[in-house]
Amino acid sequence: MAGYRPWDQDHARFIVAGLASLEGATLPILHALQDEFGYVDPQAVPLIADALNLSRAEVHGTISFYHDFRTAPPPRRVVKLCRAEACQALGCEALVSGLARDHAIAVDDQSGSGEFAVETVYCLGNCALGPSALADGELIGRVDGDRLAQLCGLTGAHA
């Protein structure tokens, strides 16, 4: 994905070493790795565990507990779809069903093609204009099935 450095074990080791002395260093290290590479490669687990005197299971548990950490390179585009109560009342669950029915796409499925992913978020702060989505930093209100398909690159129109 553009903007991220390819995984580099030596650079990851440098990042880990630079942050290991922080109190509660696990999360800052994981965030720094993801900011640099776009994901936390499984090869980072033993680096972090050794640097922080933790078990590999503890590091893996932290990565898997927080849904924002990825363990594989991110897709080219991520569309975040609000599924909080206000957006539910305005039809977001119909959008989720439509993606599954019309395009065989499961929201929050991390096993996709790598081109795009649709992820659940709970509130984008655009409740009056729901259902809402966030794509490439742009907040979009009143999303319907056609607009969601455009955001995902499933139609010829550009987002």
Q: Which residues contact 154 (CB under 8 A, 6 or more apart)?
A: 103
Ordered DSSP codes for 46-99: HHHHHHHT--HHHHHHHHHHSTT--SSPPPSEEEEEE-SHHHHHTTHHHHHHHH
pLDDT score, position 111? 54
Q: Tell me how far the alpha carbon of residue 48 is from its chain's centroid.
A: 21
User: In the chain, which segments carry CATH 3.40.30.10?
Assistant: 77-151
Average pLDDT of the chain is 91
CATH of domain 77-151: 3.40.30.10
The amino acid sitting at 1 is M
pLDDT score, position 67? 82
**pTM (global) more than 0.85:** no
CA proximity to 96, closest of 105, 84, 86: 105
pLDDT score, position 46? 98
Given a cut of 50, the residues of the chain with pLDDT beneath it are 1, 157-159
CA proximity to 31, closest of 63, 6, 60, 54: 63
Q: What is the rounded distance in angstroms from the CA atom of residue 57 to the CA atom of residue 40?
A: 15
pLDDT score, position 71? 93
